[in-house]
């Protein structure tokens, strides 16, 4: 008779969010497969749990599979946890869960915290449909390509981001989705310095920069989906950026003519817009 693989959510900050059932499952399992055994040991110690631990992370998941599957096949119960939140959500565990299913092992969730759902639940943006995008690519060109591909996505978008890249990512989101698109920035959820703000994407970046310590910690960015209006605004912003660059080097008439060629917009409309931009204080 095969055992059970439990997929157990752990707190994303506040230990009070560790559910009684998660606690009991870890205490009663034969083994806990943990992303970082030192970190999970501290959690287990806090709750007086003495179950043995094995490590299961990005770099050893494939290697560890046969041994864990063998134990499950022999009837053991294995509890899978990650460093924080729900395993498999931008965390290891996918290979183990897939293999367990392929081998006919029962897989059962012990649901609980996840930064994705926590941020979405407080965003004040539509949640009836959403797309979880995980971490955006680290390299700027790949990140901008990824955002550009999502620019017309009508569903609410959810991203994870690290403190090292949050400012760059917000700048690229503003450039690709439109600076006026609404978004929620949530940092340090359930922790002592939890903060969240709903604003335009450019407003969120400015807010983050107001306080140097705000750039620290863990972040979720929830971005409103594209509406017809936000698509038009983003297009207008892109046209304005083209005009602004051209106006730095050329007279209004020439700038409008070249912008018309580049964007396919009517030349007289761009001429009027170029005049407006020229009059705007710099």
Interface ranges with ligand SAM (CB under 6 A): 12-13, 82, 84-86, 89-91, 114-116, 160-162, 186-191, 218-220
Q: How near is the Cβ of 240 to ligand SAM at its closest, in Å?
A: 32
Task: Give how far the C-alpha of residue 33 lies from the chain's centroid of Cα atoms, to the nearest Å.
Answer: 24
Give 4 or 8: the residue with its C-beta nearer to ligand SAM: 8
Q: How near is the Cβ of 205 to ligand SAM at its closest, in Å?
A: 16
Give 75 or 124: the residue with its C-beta nearer to ligand SAM: 124
Q: How near is the Cβ of 178 to ligand SAM at its closest, in Å?
A: 23
Determine the Cα–Cα distance for residues 244 and 250; give it in Å rounded to an integer: 10
Contact 224, 156 (CB under 8 A): yes
Dihedral angle over CA of 157, 161, 163, 165, nearest 10: -90
Closest-approach residue to ligand SAM (CB): 85
Give 114 or 202: the residue with its C-beta nearer to ligand SAM: 114
Q: How near is the Cβ of 91 to ligand SAM at its closest, in Å?
A: 4
Give 219 or 230: the residue with its C-beta nearer to ligand SAM: 219
Give 15 or 262: the residue with its C-beta nearer to ligand SAM: 15
Give 189 or 260: the residue with its C-beta nearer to ligand SAM: 189
Q: How near is the Cβ of 228 to ligand SAM at its closest, in Å?
A: 30
Give 193 or 232: the residue with its C-beta nearer to ligand SAM: 193
Q: What end-to-end distance do the CA atoms of the chain give, in Å?
A: 74
Contact 95, 33 (CB under 8 A): no
Q: How near is the Cβ of 221 to ligand SAM at its closest, in Å?
A: 8
Residue 191's CB: how many other CB atoms inside 10 A?
14
* 31-34: strand order across its sheet: 53-55, 31-34, 77-81, 4-8, 106-110
Q: How near is the Cβ of 149 to ligand SAM at its closest, in Å?
A: 21
Determine the Cα–Cα distance for residues 29 and 6; give it in Å rounded to an integer: 9
């Amino acid at each position: 008779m095969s055992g059970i693989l439990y997929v157990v959510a752990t707190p994303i900050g506040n230990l009070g969010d560790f559910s009684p059932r998660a606690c009991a499952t870890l205490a009663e399992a034969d083994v806990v497969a943990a992303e970082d055994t030192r970190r999970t040991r501290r959690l287990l110690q806090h709750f007086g749990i003495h179950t043995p631990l094995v490590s299961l992370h990005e770099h050893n998941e494939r290697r560890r599979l046969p041994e864990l599957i063998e134990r499950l096949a022999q009837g053991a119960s294995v509890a899978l946890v990650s460093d924080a939140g729900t395993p498999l959500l931008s965390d290891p565990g996918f290979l183990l869960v897939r293999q367990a299913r392929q081998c006919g092992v029962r897989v059962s969730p012990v649901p609980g915290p996840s930064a994705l759902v926590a941020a979405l639940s407080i965003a004040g943006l539509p949640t009836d449909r959403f797309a979880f995008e995980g971490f955006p690519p680290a390299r700027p060109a790949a990140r901008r390509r990824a955002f550009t591909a999502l620019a017309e996505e009508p569903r609410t978008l959810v991203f994870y981001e690290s403190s090292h890249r949050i400012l760059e990512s917000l700048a690229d989101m503003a450039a690709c989705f439109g600076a006026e698109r609404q978004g929620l920035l949530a940092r340090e959820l359930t922790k002592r310095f939890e903060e969240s703000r709903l604003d335009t994407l450019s407003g969120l970046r400015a807010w983050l920069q107001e306080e140097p310590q705000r750039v620290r910690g863990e972040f979720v960015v929830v971005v409103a989906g594209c509406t017809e209006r936000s698509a038009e605004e983003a297009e207008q912003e892109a046209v304005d950026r083209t005009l602004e660059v051209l106006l730095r080097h050329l007279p209004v008439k020439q700038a409008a003519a070249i912008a018309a060629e580049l964007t396919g917009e009517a030349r007289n409309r761009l001429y009027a817009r170029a005049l407006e931009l020229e009059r705007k204080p710099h």
